[in-house]
Amino acid sequence: MPLLEIKGLHKYFGGLRAVCDVSLCIEEGEVLALIGPNGAGKTTIFNVVTGFLPADAGEVIFGREDVLGLRPHEICAKGIARTFQIVRPFLAMSVLDNVTVAALLRNKSINQAQKKAEEVLEFLGLSEKAHLPASALTLPDRKRLELARALATDPRILLLDEVMAGLTPLEIDHFVELLRIVNQRGITIFLIEHVMRGVMALSQRVAVLNYGRKIAEGSPEEVTTNREVIEAYLGEEFLSA
């Protein structure tokens, strides 16, 4: 039984079909990447799954529960954590406090939550910056903070929205390593990514979205050599290549 199952999801914005009949299955422990040109509807799917947007039709099943329509905080409590495409740190709080807020979900006392937060920060290499205000961090560090917060909620599945955008190749490799370790610890990863280097290195399976529809699914190699996928990204002229 898959950990997260999206069945026949539809989301319209007025006349615009942002997501059209999309179905995906993610098994526990795997890493599934969702790719596709800009505007294909990927973040919309994340927003529906995490409760930020209502769906017009379809189901989202997590474990055995139907989670479609739940509020974001309830979804997080169930074990689905997410990061945002444009990072959203709590700027006026310290790095440690940022993560403590997340840790408070499963740790009732402040002390426990802070300990958990410190562990997570250690894992992500942010310990030295724990007492800096989040506003003082550079972008790669902010991305790490974003990940730290999501991890501090002890999720079963992590939804990552373009975490690697804007990073240098070295930083990307570092992130991939981190995520690999996270995955080895048993956390399922569902990621939206444009950075193919990361996708290829990390994912076991890839699904491709174009204009709201899933047009391909399979291993990274299969998907990147798929005609329709190439056409979607690059246009017809590249097909012969």
Partner 1 sequence: MRRCLFFSAIFLILLTLPFLVSHYVVGIFILIFYYAYLGQCWNVLTGYTGYISLGHGIFLGIGAYTTAYLFLSFGITPWLGMLIGGLIAAAVGLFMGFLGFRFGLRGIYFVLLTIAFAELGRIITLHIKALGSFTGLFIPFKPSFLNFQFRGNIPYYYIAFALMIFSLALVRIIERSRLGRYFIAIREDEDAAEALGVHSFRYKMISLAISGFLTALGGAFYTNYIYYIHPNTVFGIIPSIEIILRPIVGGMGTLFGPVVGSFVLTPLAEFSRTYFAKGGYEGLHLIIYGFLMILVVLFLPQGIISYIEKPLKSLLNGDHRVRRSEAEDASFGDKRPS
Q: Which is nearer to partner 1, 66 or 128 (CB)?
A: 128
Rounded Cα–Cα distance for residues 204 and 195 (Å): 15
Q: Are 137 and 105 in contact (CB under 8 A)?
A: no
Q: What minimum distance in Å lies between the beta carbon of 211 and partner 1?
A: 26
Q: Which is nearer to partner 1, 117 or 206 (CB)?
A: 117
Q: Which is nearer to partner 1, 187 or 223 (CB)?
A: 187
Q: What minimum distance in Å lies between the beta carbon of 98 and partner 1?
A: 8
Pull the structure tokens for residue 173.
């490799």
Q: Which is nearer to partner 1, 108 or 227 (CB)?
A: 108
Q: What minimum distance in Å lies between the beta carbon of 101 and partner 1?
A: 5
CA distances from 135 to 89, 97, 130, 138, 238 (A): 8, 12, 12, 8, 43
Residues 6+ apart with CB under 8 A from 145: 87, 89, 95, 98, 99, 124, 126, 134, 137
User: Which residues of this chain interact with partner 1, rule CB under 8 A?
Assistant: 50-52, 71-73, 76-77, 81-82, 84, 88-94, 97, 100-102, 104-105, 108, 110, 113, 131-133, 135, 149-150, 152-153
